[in-house]
Amino acid sequence: MKIKHIYWFAPYNLNGPSTRYRGYYPLKYFSKNFKIEFDFVFPDRSTNGMLKFIRVYLSAFLFRKRNSVIVIQKVCSNRLYANALKLLILVRSKHTQYDIDDAEYLRQKTKTLHFFLKRCKIISVGSHELKNYCMNFNSNVFVLTSPVTDHNIRKMKRNNKPVIGWVGDFGNGNNITKEFSHKANVYKILFPQLKKIDTPLKLTIIGVKNSNDISPILQFFKDKTNIEIEIPTNLKWKDDDWLYQEIIKFDIGVSPMTNHLFNCSKSAFKAKQYLSVGIPTIASNVGENSRFVLHNKNGIICEKSSDFLTAINRIINMNDKDYFKMSENAINHKSAYSMKKYCTDFIEKYS
């Protein structure tokens, strides 16, 4: 089938990176490069939002367009939005797809998730670990790795003081409650190793959205006068150009991850963002990281926490020739997670 239209039902608004990178941005790419029309909907209780949902829902339910695909992305709740989509899938099951890029079965009730996994014709997932899980409910599962946007931002020079950068959702100001959380990853793996470095460096943490998290970070490094801490507070998550302009200031991108099933199921998106601008990346050997961080080529894979210290020192002490060779390798591997690859792989499942 040659796809002509995609009905995409997202789980939340554009503040969510999955909504943007696995849904909205690919749909825009489909429209521009493949001439595929689309309707994109997410839960929105405003009058305009509800009217849009009703319009798109009725279009898919009653007047489904020819050669169209219905995609339910990561919807796991049991609320009105989810239940309406369940009915849609029951009635219009042909050419339906469920898309997921996190192990939601570890943090949410599974009734709705399992419904879509069983009822949708195709399941697209962000990692091989998720594929293993979803194959228990549906034999037609394929890995659709999360893409980065097409941008021309590229690392061109190093900083006089090395900058180590991390990007992610740091939480809501609470204590560590889940061993797989981003906060647990940095406090258990990265921060203790950074404290062992005595040479001048700068640590940039992008993703602290609650001011209550700032003081504990500063307190953790209070005795390390050689480490400058930068924590941007004006986060513009919807402006991806802004984010990549921040990432390019890094000399090293870090992706520490505890070896937990939830992290094993992630799509290495953090590492891809660093690599896409030519930032040598140090990542835990967990989940999809080693599929994109190629050890000793565009970054370094770490088996344990102490490996981060060794890897950071190694990259800091690299001469420019070796550093920018690693940076060039990162740029040259972008095709493995490009928007073009994502959209082409998506279309091929319906060919």
| CATH architecture of residue range(s) 5-144 | 3-Layer(aba) Sandwich (3.40)
Task: Specify the pLDDT at position 177.
Answer: 66
- Region 49-77: mean pLDDT is 96
Ranking 12-16, 206-210, 233-237 by mean pLDDT, the lowest is 233-237
Q: What is the pLDDT of residue 173?
A: 61
| Contact present, 276 and 270 (Cβ < 8 Å) | no
Inter-residue contact 96 to 72 (CB < 8 Å) = yes
Q: 71-81 pLDDT, tens per residue? A: 999 999 999 99
Which residues make up the CATH 3.40.50.2000 domain(s) of the chain?
5-144, 163-336
Q: How confident is the model at residue 198 (pLDDT cuts 50, 70, 90)?
A: very high
pLDDT tens per residue, range 211-258 = 899 999 999 999 999 999 999 988 887 788 899 999 999 999 999 999
Mean pLDDT of 268-285: 98
Q: Which CATH superfamily is domain 163-336 in?
A: Glycogen Phosphorylase B; (3.40.50.2000)
Question: What per-residue confidence (pLDDT) applies to 217?
Answer: 96
Cα 42 from Cα 139, distance rounded (Å) = 28
Average pLDDT estimate for 263-281: 97
Give the residue-averaged pLDDT of 67-88.
Answer: 97
Give me the pLDDT at residue 239, please: 82
pLDDT at 171 over 90: no
Query: What is the pLDDT, as a whole number, of residue 178?
Result: 75
Q: Give residue 7's region: left, alpha or beta (phi > 0; psi -120 to 50).
A: beta
Q: For residues 225 and 229, what is the distance between their CA atoms, to the nearest angstrom?
A: 10
Average pLDDT over residues 125-138: 98
pLDDT value for 237: 76
Q: What is the tens place of the pLDDT at every residue in 320-348?
A: 999 999 999 999 999 999 999 999 999 99
Please list, in sequence order, all residues whose beta carbon lies within 8 angstroms of the beta carbon of residue 242, skipping any fewer than 6 positions away.
236
Average pLDDT over residues 85-98: 96
- What per-residue confidence (pLDDT) applies to 238? 74
